[in-house]
Amino acid sequence: MVVKERRGRKRYILFKHTKKVELDKIKAFLKQKSEIINGKIRWRIISFEAEKSIILIDHTKSVITRNLIKENSDKLGIKPVKTSGTLKALTK
């Protein structure tokens, strides 16, 4: 058995802010949808800056999370840009 099978694989999703965004608003949305989003790895906001943010998510839930946020992008003020397995790939 491979270690990552028990621990879970992670994905990082990079978001671009389309308007002024509050961290509490994003957290509230993710908590509301947490039963859909949570897998072996629970969601977590890794970085939150003025123009972009990064969210850690389970690899099986990355597509679902991107679609949820894409559907609610006008309300949240964020738009998904890129998904990666490492933070280094997102910073390039």
What are the tokens at 58? 């389970």
pLDDT-based confidence at residue 59 (cuts at 50, 70, 90): confident
Give the percent of the chain with pLDDT over 90.
39
* Residue 15 belongs to some domain of the structure: yes
- Nearest Cα neighbor of 85 from 3, 16, 8, 32 is 8
CA angle (66, 74, 84) in 5-degree steps: 25
Q: Is residue 92 part of a domain?
A: no
Q: Residue 20: pLDDT above 80? A: yes
Q: Tokens 């933070």 appear where?
A: 87
In this predicted structure, the answer to whether residue 2 has a pLDDT above a threshold of 80 is no
Provide the CATH number for the domain around residue 30: 3.30.70.100
The count of structural domains within the chain is 1
pLDDT in the model for residue 3 = 62
- Would you place residue 1 in the very low, low, confident or very high pLDDT band (cuts 50, 70, 90)? low
